[in-house]
Amino acid sequence: MQIFLDTAEIDELRAWADTGLIDGVTTNPSLIAKSGRKIDEAIAEICTLILGPVSAEAVATAKDEMIAEGRKLAAIAPNVVIKLPLTPDGLRACRTLTEEGFKVNVTLCFSAAQALLAAKSGAAYISPFIGRLDDAGVDGMALIHDIRAIYDNFAFETEILAASIRTTAHLRDAAIAGADCSTIPTKILDAAYKHALTDSGLKAFLDDWEKTGQSILG
């Protein structure tokens, strides 16, 4: 499964860029606003740090304006993916931009029926929001399973990009469910490293090694 970071913070991305773990980045208007930067400058810098797909979101709500914004965002760098909302106008814009050769990430997906429409509109990615469904008392992970089954049934090439990941359990379960990618905040990626038994096991190994008085480097 590909791992994307859900952030527009350059310092966060720079800290993880050389790990080889990050396959892409997703941003949204809220993340750009939080960064305090102009969207074109932020996306351009992100694209120099992460060579995989970088989602940049249009903010228009009407089809023609979405298309115009999408073209402008895609011109920032060749790895930009245009992010559009799962609305009638968003899907129409997705179709047009896809036919023009751009990649589109359709976001704010909360049902399998929506995901089906996005795939038929040519979306390169669909972003189902797991955590927000859980917040509403709905099993968000069940949606990933449903989309996976539908896409496999009809050989859709749209990739499932699990979003609104709140815990490492979400990350694990999305991988088990067959999501192609998960986009996560850096705190979840950092937490994915950690386990108490790893820490205690390493401490025991190092304590025993210190008793030998040896040095591997001499």
* Residues annotated catalytic, as ranges: 83
How many Cβ atoms sit within 10 Å of the Cβ of residue 140? 24
**Is residue 116 within a helix (H) or strand (E), and if so which, with residue range?**
helix 112-120
Map tokens 């995901």 to a residue: 115
Q: Which residues contact 89 (CB under 8 A, 6 or more apart)?
A: 61, 62, 63, 66
Cα dihedral 36, 164, 58, 41 in deg (nearest 10): 30
160 closest CA partner among 178, 174, 179: 179
- Dist. CA 47–CA 117, nearest whole Å: 29
CB 156 within 8 A of CB 119: yes
